[in-house]
Amino acid sequence: MAAVLQRSVSPLMPSNRHISVLYDAALDAMGVREDGCYIDGTFGRGGHTAGLLERLGPSGQVIAFDKDPTACQAGWVRFKGDPRLRLVHGGFETLGAWASEAGLSGQVDGILLDLGVSSPQLDDAERGFSFMRPGPLDMRMDFTTGETAAQWLARADAREIADVLWRYGDERQSRRIAAAILQQRDERPLRTTADLAALIEGIVRRKPGASHPATRSFQAIRMHVNRELEALESALEQSMDVLADGGRLVVITFHSLEDRIVKRFMRQYAEPPLPPVPAAPRPEPSLDLVIRKRRPGPDEIAENPRARSATLRAAERRRRR
C-alpha cells in the first residue's frame, strides 16, 4: 500500500490548489470553541481543517478523514508537527465506529462534511474524474480499493447503467448512452475518460452555452462508483451518536439529491418539528436548525465557479433530558 500511496503526490503540483467553498460560513456554523473536538469528514486539501485549527487553542483537536490517499499524504506533510490534528485515511461513513473506538462517542463538538470532489482530484488526469482531461477511467476517491468506473462499465447491464445515469445525473439520454456503451464494449472496452466522453458526445447534442454533454454522466458514474449517497446517509445517522449536546452538524452539498438527504435528515430530527412533519414518530434525540440553508454569494461564485451549486445546512444537536 505504501507504494500505491506514493502515486502522484507532489507538494508542487498545481493541482494541489483547492479553494474551500463557503469557508467562513462553514466555520461560523461550526461555532468553534477553543478547547473543542471537531471532525472534518472531508479533509480535501485541508482548507476547512486549517480554519478549524486557527480557531482552536492548544487543547483543541481535529480529527479529519479523507478516502483519498493523495489528499491524506498532502495533509500529513502540510500539518506535520501540529499535534492537534489527527488525519485518518478512510471514509467518513466510519466515523461512528472510529469515535467509539477512540472513546469520543457523544463528545464531538462539531462535524463538517464538504461533499463531492476537490479541485486537485478533478485536475489530475490520472484520477479519471474529468472528461476534459484524457486519463484512465478510474473515478475512485480511494484508488487503493474497489471497482473503477471502467471495470463497472465493462460488467454492468444496460438497465443498471441507464438507472445510474438517470438517477444521479438526470440524463435524459440515459438509455441511449447505456445501449451505446454495451455496443462499444463488445468491440473494444472503454478504458479512458476520452473514450467515454467521445461516446457521449456522439449521442447528446452540445447546446450553445450549456455544460459539456458528458458532465451529467461523469457526475453520475462518479457518485455510483464511490457510493456517495449511501456514505452520506450512513454518516448522518452516525453523527447523532457522535455529537455532544450542543454539537454542530454542518454539511455542504453540490447536488440536489445530496441536499435533499441532508434536508430530510435535519427535518426528521428537528425540534420543534418542521412542516412537512414526517409520518413516522419523531426519533430521539433531536436537532435544532441553526442555519436552514446558505448559498454562496456572487463574489464567491465569480472567484470559484465550483461554488455555484453549493448549499450549506447546519444543525445543533440537542440531547433530551
Q: Which residues bind ligand SAM (CB under 6 A)?
A: 18, 20, 41-42, 44-48, 65-68, 71, 91-93, 114, 116-118, 141, 231
From residue 178, alpha-carbon distances to 80, 139, 157, 166 in Å are: 46, 18, 8, 10
- Supply the minimum distance, in Å, between the C-beta of residue 204 and ligand SAM: 26
Please give the residue whose beta carbon sits closest to ligand SAM in the complex: 44
Backbone φ and ψ of 169, nearest 5°: -120, -5
Residue 41 or 110 with smaller CB distance to ligand SAM: 41
Judged by CB, which is closer to ligand SAM: 61, or 286? 61
108-124: string of b/e by CB count within 10 Å (b at 16+)? bbbbbbbbbbbbbbbbb
Minimum distance from residue 41 beta carbon to ligand SAM (Å): 6
Closer residue to ligand SAM (CB): 174 or 294: 294
68 vs 138 by CB, closer to ligand SAM: 68
d(CA 28, CA 48): 11
The residue written with cell numbers 464567491 in the block is 300
101 versus 157: smaller Cβ distance to ligand SAM: 101
Cβ 247 to ligand SAM shortest distance, Å: 19
Distance CA 75, CA 140 (A): 19
> Shortest distance, CB of residue 219 to ligand SAM, whole angstroms?
13
| Furthest CA-CA distance within the chain | 65
**Closest separation between CB of residue 53 and ligand SAM, Å?**
12
Grid coordinates representing 12 are: 508542487
